[in-house]
């Protein structure tokens, strides 16, 4: 079957692409998703992310290779295997990142990607209660909800403590500045998750020019042309759907939006990537592109646990009575703890006066919980009134990779985060720990804290702080950069219009194109990339149509004159 556009991956980016490219009705669009539908109640209710954390039906549940600098541990990397992708199973924190993050994208040779360039696309995608302002949009598909009114009261204690230490309050991390302490925004509408699937795709699913294929695992991109002339063009894809191999053809473009892990995996399986890696697995080299799968970046975090004198969400979630109470509150009013993320307050801090920009993101959670070691267990609250303080460095400098493990699409790729491989990242692991300890000296926090439960006395100096980070840190699931955007095919995969270097009619549009990781949560910038990418694709199509029309008119004029 033939479609104008084939989109691989119905994640945070793919859902937006499908809606935007099909909106005019002029183009036929096929959207392929390896997972199933997001029609379950657990995808709608915000607290449902805890239910989906270990769920192999809706989650790829990837793990890294053993990490040398993290005590040889394998780091868990959940990825959405469902319509909506990781945006259907994440904690919904909506942070764009620092303005300088995107200015750095532009400075790396990517015109059109500075903060001022991308701000209109952030505004376009969101519907913000502040309305149509310099910083926000009022009519976008994704509803943004400030958690200020519903956050647990102990979050205000945290903010008060930070201000006592001289840190400024920030009521809008997506406004004029990133730095400061406050309550996070989430992408929810009326107490329900506002993923790009719910916000974009659900309203477009009825369109006759949009076809959505679920449980469709794309095994490779198809090409024509040959290696002799060097002209290769993406012409379609091959998928495996419930054991059956199917082929679809693209009249205009194939757009890969499978995410930071699976986009480079698909390119490599299709013969686009490092020559040595492809040869190792017996894959024909369609186009050598050494950067495919390189430049992997992620935010690495660690949590400090505290026992509280003040009741927290641990008390609410440990009793069936309170669970029932809040469950009814949610069902009747779409409010209460079930309507929000547990990552409620926090902010962006500088760990030293020598830092020119905020270099540390902090989460203050009014719920103290442990991530289970077994993937058969659920996230469970600690059996006491507790809270946790978690931090991650904003712009780590370690770089990892994604590589196929074999030529079989069903085999998970090898993820190497290469975490803490630079001295800067090791220094910031210590600096972040010191920041948490400093924040906890604030009078307001001292008054509500019984004790530090973990790491407590085991961590007292720089060496023990680094050891604690090595042994207890984990991914905060912001993987990106593995099909990086840039002008040089030796170090980048796509150009500034997200076209794969050296191949016609093939683009990558998702978090894998980030040249450098953003300073905060990555779902919002991924959706921005999709909005901007969709506009580029539409513009290029219109330019192509206009050019063909002009050429036809010239030919007709020449025929008449002759």
Q: Which residues are catalytic?
A: 478
Q: How far apart are CA 370 and CA 351, in angstroms?
A: 26
Strand partners, 307: 386, 451
Tell me the HSE value of 308 on the side-chain side, using a 13 A CA sphere.
28
430 is in an annotated binding site: no
Residue closest to 54 by CA, chosen among 376, 472, 474: 376
The SS3 assignment for 76 reads: strand
Burial of 538 (0-12, 13-18, 19+ CB in 10 A): middle
Q: And the tokens for 272?
A: 């686009």
What backbone torsions phi and psi does residue 308 show, to the nearest 5 degrees?
-110, 145
Burial of 360 (0-12, 13-18, 19+ CB in 10 A): buried
Residue closest to 368 by CA, chosen among 380, 390, 386, 345: 386
Q: How far apart are CA 11 and CA 508, in angstroms?
A: 13
Strand runs (DSSP E) across 243-385, as ranges?
244-256, 272-273, 287-288, 294-296, 300-308, 345-349, 360-365, 369-370, 380-381
Query: Which distant-in-sequence residues (6+ apart) come within 8 Å of 84 by Cβ?
Result: 10, 11, 12, 15, 38, 43, 195, 196, 197, 198, 201
Q: And the tokens for 68?
A: 């040398």
H helix intervals, 380-422: none
Buried b (16+ CB within 10 A) or exposed e, 389-406: bbbbbbbbebbbbbbbee
Q: Which residues are annotated as a binding site for FAD?
A: 82
Pick out the residues of the known binding site: 82
């Amino acid at each position: 079957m033939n479609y104008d556009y084939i989109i691989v991956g119905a994640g945070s980016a793919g859902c937006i692409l499908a809606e935007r490219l099909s909106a005019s009705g002029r183009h036929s669009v096929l959207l392929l998703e390896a997972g199933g539908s997001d029609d379950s109640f657990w995808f709608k209710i915000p607290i449902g992310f805890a239910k989906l954390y270990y769920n192999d039906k809706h989650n790829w549940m990837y793990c890294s290779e053993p990490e040398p600098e993290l005590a040889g541990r394998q780091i868990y990397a959940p990825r959405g295997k469902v319509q909506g992708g990781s945006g259907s199973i994440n904690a919904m924190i909506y942070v764009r990142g620092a303005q300088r993050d995107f200015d750095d994208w532009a400075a790396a040779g990517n015109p059109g990607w500075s903060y001022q360039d991308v701000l209109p696309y952030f505004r376009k995608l969101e519907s913000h209660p502040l309305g149509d302002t310099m910083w926000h949009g009022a009519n976008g598909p994704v509803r943004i909800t400030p958690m200020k009114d519903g956050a647990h009261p102990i979050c205000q204690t945290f903010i008060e403590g930070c201000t006592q230490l001289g840190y400024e309050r920030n009521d809008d991390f997506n406004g004029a500045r990133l730095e400061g302490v406050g309550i996070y925004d989430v992408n929810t509408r009326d107490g329900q998750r506002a993923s790009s699937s719910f916000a974009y795709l659900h309203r477009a699913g009825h369109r006759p020019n949009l076809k959505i294929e679920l449980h469709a695992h794309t095994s490779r991109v198809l090409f024509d042309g040959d290696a002799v002339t060097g002209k290769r063009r993406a012409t379609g894809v091959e998928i495996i759907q419930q054991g059956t191999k199917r082929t679809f053809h693209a009249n205009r473009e194939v757009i890969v939006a499978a995410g930071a892990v699976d986009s480079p995996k698909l390119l490599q399986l299709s013969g686009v990537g490092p020559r040595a890696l492809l040869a190792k697995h017996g894959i024909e080299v369609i186009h050598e592109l050494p950067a495919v799968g390189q430049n992997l970046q992620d935010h690495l975090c660690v949590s400090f646990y505290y026992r509280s004198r003040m009741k927290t969400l641990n008390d609410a979630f440990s009793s069936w009575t309170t669970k029932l109470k809040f469950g009814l509150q949610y069902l009747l009013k779409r409010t209460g703890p079930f309507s929000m993320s547990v990552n409620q307050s926090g902010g962006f801090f500088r760990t030293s006066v020598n830092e020119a920009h905020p270099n540390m993101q902090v989460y203050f959670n009014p719920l103290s919980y442990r991530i289970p070691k077994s993937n058969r267990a659920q996230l469970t609250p600690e059996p006491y009134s507790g809270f946790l303080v978690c931090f991650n460095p904003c712009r780590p400098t370690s770089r990892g990779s994604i590589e196929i493990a074999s030529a079989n699409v069903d085999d998970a790729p090898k993820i190497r985060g290469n975490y803490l491989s630079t001295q800067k990242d090791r220094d910031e692991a210590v600096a972040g720990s010191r920041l948490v300890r400093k924040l906890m000296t604030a009078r307001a926090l001292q008054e509500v804290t019984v004790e530090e439960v973990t790491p407590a006395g085991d961590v007292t100096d720089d060496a023990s702080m680094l050891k604690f980070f090595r042994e207890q840190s984990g991914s905060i699931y912001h993987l990106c950069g593995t099909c990086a955007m840039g002008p040089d095919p030796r170090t980048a995969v796509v150009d500034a219009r997200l076209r794969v270097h050296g191949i016609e009619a093939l683009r990558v549009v998702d978090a894998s194109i980030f040249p450098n990781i953003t300073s905060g949560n990555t779902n919002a910038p991924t959706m921005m990339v999709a909005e901007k990418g969709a506009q580029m694709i539409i513009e290029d199509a219109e330019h192509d149509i206009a050019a063909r029309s002009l050429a036809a008119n010239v030919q007709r004029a020449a025929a008449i004159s002759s």
